[in-house]
Amino acid sequence: MEVIRGLHNLRLRHRGCVLTVGAFDGVHRGHQEMIRIVRERAADYGMPATVLSFEPIPREFFAKDDPPARLTRFREKVDALRAYGVERFVCARFDERLRSMAPEAFIERVLVEALGARHVVVGHDFRFGCDLKGDFELLARVGERHGFGVTQVPPYSVDGERVSSSRIREMLASGDLAGAARLLGRPYRMTGKVVHGGKLGRTLGFPTANLRLHRRATPLKGVFAVRVSGGPLQNAPAVASLGTRPVVNGGEFLLEAHVFDFEGDLYRKYLHVDFIARLRDEQWFPTLDALVEQMERDAALARKILASS
């Protein structure tokens, strides 16, 4: 998959595509259905199946002081889009210039002049342009004038439940990881590079791979049964803590994963952590002995859950 960061990096050779546009936070099963349709249309036209998305995602731009928890950071989104067969990913910077662009100008400057779209696939609630004045009807009308067609995809449901990023956030926050996985089409995943920690876990007999998440907010927190991939690991069973580490008076969100029966070096490796089941809330312990006792219970429970999943 070709990744293009910034509309200014588009070249003449990038003109001509079948396109879908959106935040694609989570790349859930509704997004996957849109990608499936894009790939079908792209095959008909003999053009690359392309996704246009934004950084920051628009919701973050409009809620700078209290942004919603991201389901997928940029790297995670790239991995997911590649896995579902997207051929070209264009990531535009969402700034005041793009926010204030009139809908007709967005169509003409971005979709037509920059991308040369031959067909555009959008969701049922797609809105765009300054003050979100652009909608499907406008896109279809202006598209006809510029020679591209538009397909509107209806809401996508799983077991009678509409799939949305907001609903997945709610499920993750409440600990319903199985429900979130059902709407995502895969376990919820976080990715990060292993960094040096305070070595407290090793001292206590539970060495951990520490992943700095670079997130202002996370959609879930607590202690989890997880599977870890990356480096020498492939779906390795583990127990993980995601939070601010109240035992050591931490403040930054950190994901710490203890991989069962593994003694290798994971420092600086990129790891993927798949969340399988929530075990408990993050909590404070009066002594390290009390913490170790709880960690042993967590590990035993995580092993049991993962052995049957």
Q: Report the CATH number that the domain containing residue 219 is assigned in CATH.
A: 2.40.30.30
Q: Are residues 152 and 217 in the same domain?
A: no
pLDDT band for 249, please (50, 70, 90 cuts). very low
Cβ–Cβ < 8 Å for 117, 10? no
CATH code (residue 126): 3.40.50.620
Secondary structure (3-state) at 303: helix
pLDDT digits (tens, 9 = 90+) for 115-160: 999 999 999 999 999 999 999 999 999 999 999 999 999 999 999 9
pLDDT for 75-124, tens place per residue? 999 999 999 999 999 999 999 999 999 999 999 999 999 999 999 999 99
Query: Is 245 a residue whose pLDDT tops 80?
Result: no
Indicate whether 295 and 236 sit together in one domain: yes
User: Looking at residue 213, what is its pLDDT?
Assistant: 86
Q: Say if residue 248's pLDDT is above 60.
A: no
Q: How far apart are CA 110 and CA 25, in angstroms?
A: 21
Distance CA 261, CA 307 (A): 14
231: containing domain? 187-307
